[in-house]
Amino acid sequence: MGAIEVGDLTKEYGSVLGVDSLSFTVEDGEIFGFLGPNGAGKTTTIRALLGLISPTSGTATVLGADVRNEDSLIEAKQRIGYLPADLGFDEGVTGRRVLDYHASIKGDHRRDELLEVFTPPLERPIREYSTGNTRMLGLIQAFMHDPDLVIMDEPTAGLDPLKQEEFNEFIRAERERGTTVFFSSHVLSEVRRVCDRVGILRAGQLVGLEEIEALLDRGGKRVHVVPVDGDNPAITELDGAFDVTSVGEEVQFTYTGDYNALLAELARHDVRDVEISEPALEDVFMHYYGTDDANGEASTPEAADV
C-alpha cells in the first residue's frame, strides 16, 4: 500500500463537483506534485485526505488510515505534517509561541535543525510577519516532529527566490531521508525541480498522472527569437513549432520538436536575441490535452482556495 491511496474520490457541493472520481497512488518516499490552475480542486482533495471534509463518495487511505474513519485518521495524523495554503496563525502571538503550541501536540525534535534553513523572526508577533516569514514558520511546524508524510498546499507562496531554492534543496534531502511529500502547486517550474511524478487536475478531474519529464516533453518550450534578418519562416516551419505569433521582427512559438534541430536552425540566422523558457501552465494544458479550456477552473464554493 502506498502512503496515499485514492479510489474514485468525489466531493459534491450541491450541484457542483469539487472533485470527480479521483484515483491515484502516492508511493512511499516519493515527491508527488499535484498540479493544476487555481480552482481546479487541489485544496478540496487535500482537505478530504486530511479528514477535514467528508467525501461524497469513494474513499482514500493516508498511511493506511481510511479518511472516513476518524479514530484511525487521528492516530495516523501523528505521523503527518500539514502546511495549509491559509496558515491562520493567531496574529497576536509570537512565532515562538506558535511553535511551542504545535510542539506540545506533536513534538519538535527537529526544530533547531529547521531553523537553520527557514528563518522567521520568532520573537516578533505574527502580525508583523511578511508573507514569506509566515510561510517559513508554517514549514517549520509541518516538519519539526519528523513526520513520515507531509502534505502541503502551495508551499512556496510568498517565499523569495533564494528561499524557494533552499526549500527545493530541503525537499530533495527529505526524500533521501525517506519522507513522502505530497504538495499542490499551479507553478510548473516549481514542481519540475523536485517532483518524481505529477498528478494533473483539471476542473475537478485527474487528467494526467505521469513522470515529470514526460509532462515537460509534451509541454515543450516557449521560444522567443529576434532575428536581425527577419527570416522567420525557416525557424517557425520546423517540425514541432506551433502557436506562432509575430510582431515586427520578433517571433514567438511553442516548440516540442528536436532541440538540436532548433539550435541548428537558429545558428543559421543572425539572431539579435533568443529566449527559451518553460511554457506557461495554461499552455501545457492546451497542448497536452488539446482543449481550449486551459484554465480548468471549477466553480466550487471554495474556488479561491481549491
Domains for the chain: give ranges and CATH numbers: 4-216 (3.40.50.300), 221-278 (3.30.70.100)
Contacts of 177 (CB under 8 A, 6+ apart): none
The amino acid at residue 244 is V
Q: Which three cell numbers stand for residue 135?
A: 510561510
- pLDDT reported for residue 303: 38
- pLDDT reported for residue 271: 86
- pLDDT reported for residue 304: 37
- pLDDT reported for residue 305: 42
Cα–Cα distance measured from residue 138 to residue 124, given in angstroms and rounded to the nearest whole number: 15
Cα–Cα distance measured from residue 187 to residue 241, given in angstroms and rounded to the nearest whole number: 23
- pLDDT reported for residue 230: 62
Contacts of 235 (CB under 8 A, 6+ apart): 225, 227, 241, 251, 253, 262, 265, 266, 269
Tens of pLDDT, residue by residue, the chain (306 residues): 799 999 999 999 988 889 999 999 999 999 999 988 778 899 999 999 999 999 999 999 999 999 999 999 999 999 999 999 999 999 999 999 999 999 999 999 999 999 999 999 999 999 999 999 999 999 999 999 999 999 999 999 899 999 999 999 999 999 999 999 999 987 777 787 899 999 988 889 998 888 877 776 677 788 999 888 666 667 788 888 888 888 878 889 888 888 899 999 888 888 889 999 877 666 666 655 555 444 444 333 333 344
- pLDDT reported for residue 299: 37
pTM tops 0.85: no
- pLDDT reported for residue 289: 53
- Are 303 and 39 spatial neighbours (Cβ–Cβ below 8 Å)? yes
